[in-house]
Amino acid sequence: MPFIRTDTGIVTQINTFTVPEGGQQPLIELLEEAARFASTTPGWRSASLHRSHDGTRVVNYAQSDNIEAALRVIERLRAAGFLDRNAHFGQAHPGLYDVVFTLER
């Protein structure tokens, strides 16, 4: 489960994919496989997938304990070919982020 709090050291990778029509589900299935693979990496915390209602985007929200763990996860996914496979389904726009503000009801 995602942990969204400030000042925790947790690093969040947010990756927005732009996909062609009909491309959401195949990418989601690949990202589910990648998340299961990455979950065995030390420092990995969580992954959540989101699909847009208009059918053109998929968002992967993944968390790691810290920046070193996030980079380990990314490198492990790269070495296993997941990043290359992702490119076949859509254009990726990845970034690593820290939570700086939250507000809850």
Span 38-83, pLDDT tens digits = 999 999 999 999 999 999 999 999 999 999 999 999 999 999 999 9
Q: According to the model, what pLDDT value does residue 3 have? A: 82
Q: In CATH terms, is domain 13-97 a member of 3.40.1190.20?
A: no
- The one-character DSSP state at 34 is H
Residue 2 has pLDDT above 90, yes or no: no
Confidence of residue 20 (pLDDT cuts 50, 70, 90): very high
* DSSP-based three-state secondary structure for 22: coil
Confidence of residue 25 (pLDDT cuts 50, 70, 90): very high
- Please list, residue by residue across 40-73, b when 16 or more beta carbons sit within 10 angstroms of its beta carbon and e when fewer do: ebebbbebebebeeeeebbebbbbbbeeebbebb
Measured distance CA(6)–CA(84) in Å, rounded: 32
Burial of 3 (0-12, 13-18, 19+ CB in 10 A): exposed
* DSSP-based three-state secondary structure for 97: strand
Asked if 6 and 99 count as a contact pair (C-beta separation under 8 A), the reply is yes
